[in-house]
Amino acid sequence: MKRLANSLFLTSLFLSPSLLAGDAPRIIIDDKKWGNEKQSPKILDFSFDARVRYEFREEGNLDASHAGTVRLRPGLTFLPDGPFSVFVEGEFTSALLDDFQSGPSPDLEPFTPGNTPIFDPETAELNQAYAQYKKNGFQIRVGRQRYILDNSAFVGNLVWRQNEQTLDAATLSYTGDDYSISYAYANQVNRIFGSDANGLLRELEGDIHLLNGWKKFGDLKVGGYAYLIDFDEAPNNAFLNRASSNTFGGYVKYQGWHAEFAFQTDGDSSNLNRNESIYAHVYYGTTAGNFKLKAGLEHLEEDFYTPLSTVHLFNGFADNFIASRLGIADNPGINDLYVMAGTEVADVHLKGFAHYYTNDSVSQDFGWELDFVAHKQLSEGVHLITKLAYYNGGGGGANDDNIKQASVQLDYSF
């Protein structure tokens, strides 16, 4: 209740009429000299985002869950206009409607045994805190930070959940007019289960090296990456053993086409003995009048894992394959054949998706899924998003249960 009261107080404070009008509080030093006002560099800049969401989820024989959550992220940037800056951001999540199980441990709240999991526990924590130097395309950042590479298929922040994934890391990057290269070293992954979680639910420790780069040649974009992940205690834990891996890959993009290939071997501490497990993803997207169309195939061979990815963006919004992709459960191999159609009606962006799943050798039917998204920008910084998903199990997959999911959320940021 105390956390809920704090979050409601922050909501009323930050969503005041002046802030909704875009009048973000700023601290500025003014120097009046000879009758003329001269503005010195800004010392502090305040940022804020809030999300209110209702989410329904029903899976198999579990009781249906109803989650009503509020997430607040206030942040402060010191010396925002200079090459050197410091950023600090908090994250506060409260459950207004708590008829759901927010994680696998009773330490997390809400925790309703027998209910379908919705991984949005209550939390109050430091989300980001880093020092940064940025000038002439070069950036170095040290501390706790959000880190996303390419399309988040391998490294992301799990943007769908209220409490995001961050890294304790040192990151370096240089971006030119038509190329970019980046490197990160992280020794801790801060997971989505928040401040009340313990052990591996709270954080993963180890040595993580992330190298990524791309170059444009006119309409052609070529990229490559090497992700070396080695978690502590990997031989003694099945999840960490799967997740500890070395992944090498590359992709090309050209006029709507995307083709990507990667292979994965064991990390230094892993004894999984995988034999160069393969990943491939090919899709084509185009526009026809007021419609956007996309079709693709994503292939993960058996024992290929993406432990740092934003998995909600792949293999359907029902999230049936999350455990298999992250390494929480064995990955039997996944083929995801999908199509997407999108359009805009009365300033509402609409998208529909259809997925058909099999194992990697196409010998087992894993089922199909239909997804729908509607997005409306209500005003500057205010967005309304509705999502629907239905997964129908195929009789041989990692999860044969049907899944129904629906959500409505309001996002506000400045």
| pLDDT string in tens for the chain (414-residue length) | 445 444 444 444 444 433 333 343 333 333 333 344 556 788 999 999 999 999 999 998 899 999 999 999 999 999 999 999 999 999 999 999 999 999 998 999 999 999 999 999 999 999 999 999 999 999 999 999 999 999 999 999 999 999 999 999 999 999 999 999 999 999 999 999 998 999 999 999 999 999 999 999 999 999 999 999 999 998 899 999 999 999 999 999 999 999 999 999 999 999 999 889 999 999 999 999 999 999 999 999 999 999 999 999 999 999 999 999 999 999 999 999 999 999 999 999 999 999 999 999 999 999 999 999 999 999 999 999 999 999 998 654 445 689 999 999 999 999
Query: Residue 17: phi, psi to the nearest 5?
Result: -55, -35
Q: What is the DSSP letter of 234?
A: G
Q: Could you tell me whether strands 291-300 and 334-345 are parallel, antiparallel, or unpaired per DSSP bridges?
A: antiparallel
CA 290 to chain centre: 29
- Gap between the Cα atoms of 116 and 60, Å rounded: 9
pLDDT at position 249, please?
Answer: 98
Cα Rg for the chain, rounded, in angstroms?
A: 22
For 5, residues 6+ apart whose C-beta sits below 8 A from its C-beta are none
Task: Tell me the Ramachandran region of residue 218: left when phi exceeds 0, alpha when psi lies from -120 to 50, beta otherwise.
Answer: left
- The pLDDT of residue 22: 39
Q: What is the pTM of this model?
A: 0.88
**Whether the Cβ atoms of residue 399 and residue 325 lie closer than 8 Å to each other:** no
Q: Give the C-alpha separation, 150 to 154, whole Å.
A: 8
What pLDDT shows up at residue 39? Answer: 66
Fill in the DSSP letter of residue 13: H
The rounded distance, in Å, linking the Cα atoms of 14 and 236 is 46
With beta carbons less than 8 A apart as the criterion, state whether 368 and 392 touch.
yes
Range of the domain at 365: 2-413
User: Closest Cα partner for 332 from 394, 256, 375?
Assistant: 394
Structural contact between residues 107 and 140, judged by C-beta atoms closer than 8 angstroms: no
Spatial separation of the C-alpha atoms in residues 126 and 195, rounded to whole Å: 9
What are the distances in angstroms from CA 91 to CA 73, 166, 296?
5, 12, 36
Token pair for residue 331?
A: 């990955």
Bond from prior residue into 113 cis (ω within 30 degrees of 0): no
Nearest CA to 261 among 304, 197, 294? 304
- Total number of domains in the chain: 1
User: What backbone torsions phi and psi does residue 191 show, to the nearest 5 degrees?
Assistant: -85, 175
- Rounded-to-integer distance, Cα 355 and Cα 57, Å: 19
Q: How many helices (H) and strands (E) does the chain have?
A: 4, 21
The domain that holds 275 is classified in CATH as: 2.40.160.10
Closest to 150 measured CA to CA, from 305, 281, 303:
281
Q: Which of 138, 52, 132, 60 is nearest to 92 (CA)?
A: 52
- The Cα-based distances of 245 to 208, 219, 227, 265 in angstroms read 10, 33, 8, 6
